[in-house]
Structure 1
């Protein structure tokens, strides 16, 4: 496999301190051995791949998931657990220009449908995923950002049919949301969850429906066969009519070759505190359990979880070495202390990082890989993969069967991914971009 980060990024080091691993036992599964046959081979055992497997199996289609480590090892088992609107980064004006008003409406409808899909799955199967938060709250880093928020009511009403709530600085104090912000906007869509519990439940139901899931089965090659594809792992081979590549930020430049230069993995780092007492929460005047983020370019995302641990995430890691990992965590802790000074004494025993995946034109891709009939892929969720990756997997399940889908399939995600400048050396531009973002956040 050809990847653009050092080997450290693709090993267990970055996720060694992941809190989610302590919350939910994950079943062991065998690796692929020998030769097998199925209708659809799925590369990657995260939200996209497991959702696709579940929906295929429920439709009576045989599916085999090949995961290089274990289900949820990648971003799906180490993210912040925000099930919310998102997946793409284009604003309405850019969407209207590129795809027309209906194209924009389709994309916004898919965002909403993605959150509902996860919500419906949780309710249908009765998973306990530590759900909390009534929607999602965006905090204004600067006063001008709060002024801009005041004009956002029409945007949310038109695109999602909801009414937002605005809160000024005093309102935030009264609501137990003291972190030094200038105001906030709450959208009544989305919630927080434990991503490991969610992906574990998803995989269990996929297996009950008939899907086969293999751990420790990295795919080394995908070749055309007499009929369909031959998907090879170190100890086995699957022959399949169709293939889904669901590797997102952990993708390889040559699997398939079309991926080369068309996705940008970038790190996101998370720290989690020990459980705090009510007195400690009161001292900071932060008692809200809202899933939250701010308006910084290199945003912070955070939420007080049901057991009174605070999860705090930052964007910005670029190097993916043991040293850079330590520096990223130190920076995350420094930002945490500035925002929550009353908690400077509170330990953060859990810290880890994972890959967010970005597209050159700031929108995901979901569909058949150009030049590779019968091979499908979905990737680039821009840090909002809980809902959109789950939705993409369900959509891919219909696409690989060649049948009309009841899921919205926006034109915006059918557009092939464009290449980044500098190709496989594209990471070189990120330090300069991030330096600019950091200056705007001062």
Structure 2
């Protein structure tokens, strides 16, 4: 396997996350041993891979085997912030329109909204207890210019609510670095690990075989299909879906080399914050929230009173670098919520989101490789898009004609000078910090 970061990023231990702490460990998915066959092999037991496997088994009656390097949900699907929300691309609305036109932009927005509805319906229909908050999301402007952009977005969405600086306190969104907010009706918070492990249980009940501790070491065409070699076994399948996102190997398949870039996201969760402490800060809204910085912060109250705070940044998984990034996360939390400076951090962890060279997700056939498909590149907002994207990939694999938005149907480009992607990412973070400005009290920038 050929990966971009230090080995510490891929150790099979579970991260010490709030999510893992609050759920019992399920029985491990069995390791693939010996020779096996399947109609479809799926690499990666996250939202996209498991959704695709479930769709293939239930809608098309396919024999599906999922190969997972560790266990279902070990990667980003089980360690994210739990935002089932709009997103999936790092392109601005204007850039999306330039690339695929206004009709294409509308199709991508419709995909995002349908993706949220898909997750909600799946949780409800299968009795998965993962919901954690009311519907809707808040975007908080980090500057007056950002607030003006939110106001323009509000004008195009009659269901949204624009909140000026002077109205933040009344809305329970007080903070020294916010300049106004936009609240949208779409999305809801969830327990991400409860969702992905519930998804795995439902898939297994539908006949899907999930093999844990079975990383794919080699992928090659063979006998009119594909051979997937793992440390203790080998699987032959007619068709293969690669759904590994930020934990992809550069040579599985080789076509993927240089087209994706894992980017680190780090999260901390506090001890329970009392009602009095919440009131002292003035940030009491139950909606999930994020600011408008390029290297954004995302945060929300959890049902048990704890507070989750995460941010992008960090370009190394070495222990010393992780410690530095975690300290930076805490310093940003203290700057944004000063009344909670004395509130202890209970857990902290990190993981990879996945950027593509096109800054858009991809669901489609791998060019030049018959029977090979990919669904990846969710750009840090994958709970909903990856789930629906996986189901669309399943339909494509089964020979149906799913409506995949044009933005997602084009294979991702390679990054310029791919060997220097991490260096470019570090430079990008520095430029973003300079462009966004340092954290400072509202009105004093």
**TM-score normalised by the shorter chain: which range applies?**
over 0.9
Matched with 1:441 is 436
Matched with 1:36 is 36
Q: How does 1:27-106 map to 2 (within 5 A)?
A: 27-59=27-59, 60-106=61-107
Equivalent residue for 1:170, pick from 166, 173, 192:
166
Query: Are the aligned partners of 1:4 and 1:425 in contact in 2 as well (CA < 8 Å)?
Result: no
- Distance in 1 separating the partners of 2:16 and 2:197: 19
Q: How does 1:3-14 map to 2 (within 5 A)?
A: 3-12=3-12
- Distance in 2 separating the partners of 1:57 and 1:233: 23
> What TM-score does the superposition give when structure 1 sets the normalisation length?
0.96
Deviation at 1:122, TM superposition (A): 0.9
Matched, 1:397 2:421: no
- When the two chains are superposed, the root-mean-square deviation of aligned CA atoms in Å is 1.3
- Distance in 1 separating the partners of 2:151 and 2:286: 23
Q: How does 1:23-422 map to 2 (within 5 A)?
A: 23-25=22-24, 26-59=26-59, 60-155=61-156, 157=157, 162-180=158-176, 181-405=178-402, 408-422=403-417
Name which of structure 1's ranges 24-33 and 64-73 shifts more when overlaid on structure 2: 24-33
Query: Are the aligned partners of 2:154 and 2:182 in contact in 1 as well (CA < 8 Å)?
Result: no
- Distance in 2 separating the partners of 1:352 and 1:340: 20
> What TM-score does the superposition give when structure 2 sets the normalisation length?
0.95
Q: Secondary structure at the match of 1:167?
A: strand
Matched with 2:441 is none
Query: Are the aligned partners of 2:154 and 2:162 in contact in 1 as well (CA < 8 Å)?
Result: no
- Distance in 1 separating the partners of 2:169 and 2:151: 19
Matched with 1:19 is 18
Instruction: State the Cα deviation string for residues 307-341 of structure 1 (Å, max 9, x = none).
Output: 11100001111111101100010000001111111
Unaligned segments of structure 1, at least 5 residues = none
Instruction: State the Cα deviation string for residues 169-211 of structure 1 (Å, max 9, x = none).
Output: 2322112222221110001000110000000110100011110
Deviation at 1:256, TM superposition (A): 0.2
Deviation at 1:12, TM superposition (A): 4.8
Q: Secondary structure at the match of 2:196?
A: helix
Query: Are the aligned partners of 1:292 and 1:303 in contact in 2 as well (CA < 8 Å)?
Result: yes
- Distance in 2 separating the partners of 1:66 and 1:256: 15
Query: Are the aligned partners of 2:12 and 2:70 in contact in 1 as well (CA < 8 Å)?
Result: no
Deviation at 1:148, TM superposition (A): 2.3
- Distance in 1 separating the partners of 2:195 and 2:210: 16
Deviation at 1:29, TM superposition (A): 1.6
Instruction: State the Cα deviation string for residues 262-306 of structure 1 (Å, max 9, x = none).
Output: 001110000000112212212212221111000111110000011
Query: Are the aligned partners of 1:280 and 1:343 in contact in 2 as well (CA < 8 Å)?
Result: yes
- Distance in 2 separating the partners of 1:313 and 1:165: 24
- Distance in 1 separating the partners of 2:124 and 2:210: 23
Query: Are the aligned partners of 2:272 and 2:304 in contact in 1 as well (CA < 8 Å)?
Result: yes
Count of matched residue positions in the alignment of Structure 1 and Structure 2: 434
Q: Secondary structure at the match of 1:433?
A: helix
Deviation at 1:90, TM superposition (A): 2.3
Q: Secondary structure at the match of 2:2?
A: coil
- Distance in 2 separating the partners of 1:166 and 1:192: 21
Instruction: State the Cα deviation string for residues 213-258 of structure 1 (Å, max 9, x = none).
Output: 0110001111212131111111111111100011111111100000
Matched with 1:428 is 423
- Distance in 2 separating the partners of 1:148 and 1:199: 34
Query: Are the aligned partners of 1:261 and 1:420 in contact in 2 as well (CA < 8 Å)?
Result: yes
Query: Are the aligned partners of 1:4 and 1:424 in contact in 2 as well (CA < 8 Å)?
Result: no
- Distance in 2 separating the partners of 1:24 and 1:165: 35
Return closer, same or farther for 1:209/1:255 CA change in 2, 3 Å cut-off: same
Unaligned segments of structure 2, at least 5 residues = 438-445
Deviation at 1:24, TM superposition (A): 1.6
Query: Are the aligned partners of 2:77 and 2:383 in contact in 1 as well (CA < 8 Å)?
Result: yes
